[in-house]
């Protein structure tokens, strides 16, 4: 889909449909008179995602006018615009319209809102039907335009940022949507290599032998049950002129390309979705693609430990003890708590590579879904300053997060009589004890853990997005790096 910015009056925009924003109890003044009958009938209430399509609007070159409900005006933000833009595109796409323009009046024609409108449209355009063979009824939008009354170069920059970030988010969704027979750990590594080559990133992939030499027993223990070899993917973005000892941001993403639970096997119901257990790793790859193009002021290193967790004859067993890269020993009580085991070695290796600040994203626990549902990401941190940076980045990106506690009192649940710590702490506070386990490996390095288990997958289509992977955390990562201030 082509993306454009047009600086011309709304009446002069040529397209199949022009989208105009309207709010609850506040009709869009530009159209109130020309569409008085529509407004007086009560057909347009302005409620969020309400769509009213008018054919052949008088005085406009656009063939149709779509009044897109945005809810209450006082609550309208770039986050709401992003969703409304996606909902409008999907509504019009379903009607086989090819060219769509979204009108931003002078009050809303800022760079941040242009960026959000583009992101919403591109994310809304994404479909998960790649492997359907019958493509007869596929609908395609050829062109999406943001129409503004004027503005300078900052709007073009906003459009560019929106396109780059949304394309990166959609790459993340493509990867997370791949079935496990097509996306193994090594194929995920190949995808990362291709991304690195295309966008000028450095890429290193540690194979099983290198990880064994380094002593990554925690990661390799998870991989033992699968015929598919593991990989630790490392991507580097290095801007020029960065002084020695400067901040180096480390992004770490869980890359379990399929999770059966191992010997502690999961129930069959819903297990097919466990292809998305690498969503954190996919988000990190997507974010690095965007950052390579947007060029933040700080170096960023990404690590994606990629494994399959299978119950093969060589799989690790409950009660096994593994030695992590840090030297800490871990008693594996539950093999379905595998994400924290691979992240432990990745976090340690990130520190060895010089990362001064760490943020990980992982579909880590069902417990976070119990706590926060499918609305908020669970955020955990050992450092208030970094936590606030991440939460601010999430707010700017329109991704909801809620900071959770990490009291030392919970550590009692991770005690093991046989090793330095156990990999699970029981059902109470399960998301917290999982984060506390990871904190042991972040140690004193400022670190934030994002548990995206409840937000990385949409079980039902939304007005603004298709069913399936959401690509969550990409926009937060991009905002964090791009707006980093020393």
Q: What is the pLDDT of residues 363-403, one digit of tens each?
A: 999 999 999 999 999 999 999 999 999 999 999 999 999 99
pLDDT category at 36 given cuts 50, 70, 90 is confident
Half-sphere exposure of 300 (CA within 13 A, CB side): 29
Average pLDDT in the chain: 95
Rounded to an integer, what distance in angstroms lies between the CA atom of residue 75 and that of residue 186? 45
User: What number is the average pLDDT over the span 43-70?
Assistant: 92
For 62-96, b/e burial (b = at least 16 CB within 10 A) is bebbbbbbbbeeeebebbbbbbbbbbbbbbbbeee
Of 24-28, 31-35, 174-178, where does mean pLDDT reach its minimum?
31-35
Exactly one of 7, 98, 143, 266 is catalytic; name it: 266
Burial class (CB in 10 A: 0-12, 13-18, 19+), 182: exposed
pLDDT, mean of residues 251-263: 98
pLDDT at site 224: 97
HEC string for 188-244: HHHHHHHHHHHHCCEEEEECHHHHHHHCCHHHHHHHCCCCCCCEEEEEEECCCCCCC
Structure tokens belonging to residue 252: 């770490």
% residues pLDDT > 70 (the chain)? 99
Asked if the model's pLDDT at residue 33 lies above 80, the reply is: no
pLDDT at 273: 96
Average pLDDT on 16-22 reads: 96
Tell me which of 82, 254, 275, 340 is the catalytic residue. 340
Tokens of residue 230, six digits? 């593991």
pLDDT for 6 beyond 80: yes
pLDDT score of 167: 98
Per-residue confidence at 181, pLDDT binned at 50, 70, 90? very high
pLDDT band per the 50, 70, 90 thresholds, residue 243? confident
What is the mean pLDDT of the segment spanning 459-478? 97
Domains of the chain: 2-150 (3.40.220.10), 166-482 (3.40.630.10)
**Is the pLDDT reported for residue 95 higher than 80?**
yes
pLDDT at 31 over 80: no
| 59: exposed, middle or buried (Cβ count in 10 Å: 0-12, 13-18, 19+) | exposed
Helix, coil or strand: residue 136: coil
* Lowest model confidence (mean pLDDT) among 29-38, 103-112, 180-189: 29-38
pLDDT digits 0-9 by tens, 215-225: 999 999 999 99
Proportion of the chain above pLDDT 90, given as a percent: 89
State yes or no: pLDDT of 30 exceeds 80.
no
Mean pLDDT in residue range 262-279: 97
Q: State mean pLDDT over 208-229.
A: 98
Give the pLDDT band (50/70/90) at residue 32: low
- pLDDT at 297 exceeding the cut of 80: yes
Asked if residue 27 has pLDDT above 80, the reply is no
Tell me, yes or no, if 340 is annotated catalytic. Answer: yes
304 vs 149, higher pLDDT = 304
User: What integer is the mean pLDDT of 274-279?
Assistant: 98
Please give the Cα distance from 24 to 189 (Å, whole number): 48
How many Å is the Cα radius of gyration of the chain?
Answer: 24
Contact 339, 278 (CB under 8 A): no
User: 43: pLDDT confidence band, cut at 50, 70 and 90?
Assistant: confident
């Amino acid at each position: 889909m082509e993306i454009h910015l047009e600086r011309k009056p709304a009446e002069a925009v040529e397209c199949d449909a022009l989208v105009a924003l309207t709010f609850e109890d506040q009709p869009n003044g530009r159209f109130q008179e020309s569409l008085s009958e529509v407004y007086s009938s009560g057909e347009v209430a302005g409620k969020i995602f309400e769509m009213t399509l008018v054919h052949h609007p008088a005085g406009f070159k656009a063939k149709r006018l779509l009044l897109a409900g945005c809810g209450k005006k006082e609550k309208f933000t770039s986050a709401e615009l992003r969703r409304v833009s996606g909902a409008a595109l999907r509504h019009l796409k379903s009607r086989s319209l090819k060219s769509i323009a979204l009108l931003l009046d002078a009050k809303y024609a800022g760079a941040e809102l242009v960026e959000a409108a583009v992101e919403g449209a591109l994310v809304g355009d994404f479909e998960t039907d790649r492997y359907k063979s019958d493509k007869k009824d596929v609908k395609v939008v050829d062109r999406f335009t943001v129409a503004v009354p004027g503005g300078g170069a900052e709007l073009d920059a906003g459009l560019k940022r929106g396109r780059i970030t949304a394309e990166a988010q959609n790459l993340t969704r493509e990867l997370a949507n791949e079935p496990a027979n097509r996306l193994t750990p090594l194929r995920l590594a190949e995808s990362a290599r291709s991304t690195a080559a295309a966008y000028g990133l450095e890429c290193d992939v540690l194979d099983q032998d290198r990880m064994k030499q380094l002593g990554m027993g925690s990661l390799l223990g998870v991989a033992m049950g699968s015929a598919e070899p593991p990989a630790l993917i490392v991507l580097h973005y290095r801007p020029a002129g960065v002084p020695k000892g400067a901040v180096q941001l480390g992004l770490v993403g869980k890359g379990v390309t399929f999770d059966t639970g191992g010997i502690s096997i999961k129930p069959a119901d819903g297990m097919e979705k466990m292809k998305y257990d690498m969503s954190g790793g996919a988000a990190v790859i997507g974010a690095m693609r965007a950052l390579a193009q947007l060029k933040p002021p700080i170096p960023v290193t990404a690590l994606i430990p990629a494994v399959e967790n299978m119950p093969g004859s060589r799989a690790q067993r409950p009660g096994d003890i593994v030695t992590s890269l840090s030297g800490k020993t871990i008693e594996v009580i539950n093999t379905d708590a595998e994400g924290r085991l691979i992240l432990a070695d990745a976090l340690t290796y990130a520190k060895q590579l010089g990362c001064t600040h760490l943020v990980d994203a992982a579909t880590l626990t069902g417990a976070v879904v119990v706590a926060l549902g499918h609305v908020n990401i669970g955020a955990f941190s050992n450092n208030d300053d970094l936590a606030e940076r991440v939460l601010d980045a999430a707010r700017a990106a329109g991704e909801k997060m809620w900071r959770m506690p990490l009291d030392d009192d919970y550590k009692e649940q991770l005690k093991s009589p046989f090793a330095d710590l156990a990999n699970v702490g029981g059902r109470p506070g399960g998301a917290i004890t999982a984060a506390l386990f990871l904190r042991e490996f972040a140690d004193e390095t400022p670190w934030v853990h994002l548990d995206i288990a409840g937000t990385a997958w949409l079980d039902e289509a939304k007005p603004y997005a298709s069913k399936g992977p959401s690509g969550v955390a990409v926009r937060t990562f991009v905002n964090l790096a791009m707006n980093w201030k020393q």
